[in-house]
């Protein structure tokens, strides 16, 4: 979007002049409002509100995480999120990363989630820490049992990016616990994905499979946790 085109847009004008918007991506509009009305509410729920700047930052965080996962432009990303600001930020994040979102109903069971991911060839799942009483750690284990291998981007954002075989679960640690252990050894969260990718390649191996125990022991040594 050009600066001139952006300057022609006025907050709230979509309701009165929607014809001004058809050539503008929602992601661009979010960015503009984050600059002009950063602290005004973009979403309001009974639990609180999300500002335009928070919306924009969350979309950028999702975008950055997705770019670190396997898959090129137009590859599919499965979204399993409640209908809150998070799902809208994830959609914008997918757009900014050049990925295609494949929505999964938040009430879907494991087999339905696995079916959608297989049919769309989604290799990445964006989800919440817990949905309908199931943690994302448990969900990944259940998907693995269904033969679905995926990278996971947990929301809310900032929990880190974990491997296709879910490194924290593999090591018997939750995400904050792993980050804390790594930080105590001078490894910052920003560099965690590099370690995860290295471990993931080892786990997959030339034949596509490696013993889980061997992968765990090697990962622990690589990360300096043994």
Query: CA separation (Å) from 78 to 73, 130, 145, 151?
Result: 15, 16, 18, 10
pLDDT for position 152: 76
> pLDDT per residue over 41-94, tens digit each?
888 766 678 889 999 998 998 888 888 888 888 999 999 988 888 888 999 999
Non-local (6+) Cβ contacts of 42 within 8 A are: 30, 33, 49, 50, 51, 52, 54, 55, 85
List the chain domain ranges. 11-159, 162-226
Which pTM does this prediction carry?
0.66
Most confident of 19-28, 47-56, 95-104, 204-213: 95-104
11-159 belongs to CATH 3.40.50.150: no
Mean pLDDT value across residues 162-183: 48
- Position 30 scores a pLDDT of 92
Q: pLDDT tier at 186 (50, 70, 90 boundaries)?
A: low
pLDDT at position 93: 93
Has residue 163 got a pLDDT over 70?
Answer: no
């Amino acid at each position: 979007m050009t600066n001139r085109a952006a300057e022609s847009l006025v907050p709230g004008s979509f309701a009165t002049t929607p014809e001004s918007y058809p050539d503008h991506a929602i992601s661009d509009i979010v960015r503009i409002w984050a600059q002009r009305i950063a602290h005004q509410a973009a979403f309001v729920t009974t639990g609180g509100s999300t500002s335009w700047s928070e919306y924009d930052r969350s979309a950028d965080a999702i975008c950055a995480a997705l770019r670190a996962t396997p898959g090129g432009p137009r590859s599919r990303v499965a979204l399993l999120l409640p209908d809150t600001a998070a799902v809208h930020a994830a959609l914008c994040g997918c757009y900014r990363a050049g990925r295609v979102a494949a929505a999964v109903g938040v009430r879907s069971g494991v087999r339905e989630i696995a079916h959608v991911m297989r049919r769309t060839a989604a290799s990445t799942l964006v989800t919440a820490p817990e949905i309908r009483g199931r943690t994302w750690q448990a969900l990944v284990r259940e998907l693995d049992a269904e033969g679905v291998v995926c990278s996971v981007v947990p929301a809310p954002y900032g929990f880190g990016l974990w491997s296709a075989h879910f490194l924290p679960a593999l090591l018997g640690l939750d995400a904050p616990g792993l980050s804390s252990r790594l930080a105590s050894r001078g490894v910052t969260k920003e560099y965690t994905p590099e370690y995860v990718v290295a471990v993931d390649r080892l786990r997959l191996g030339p034949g596509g499979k490696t013993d889980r125990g061997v992968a765990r022991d090697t990962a622990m040594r690589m990360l300096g946790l043994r």
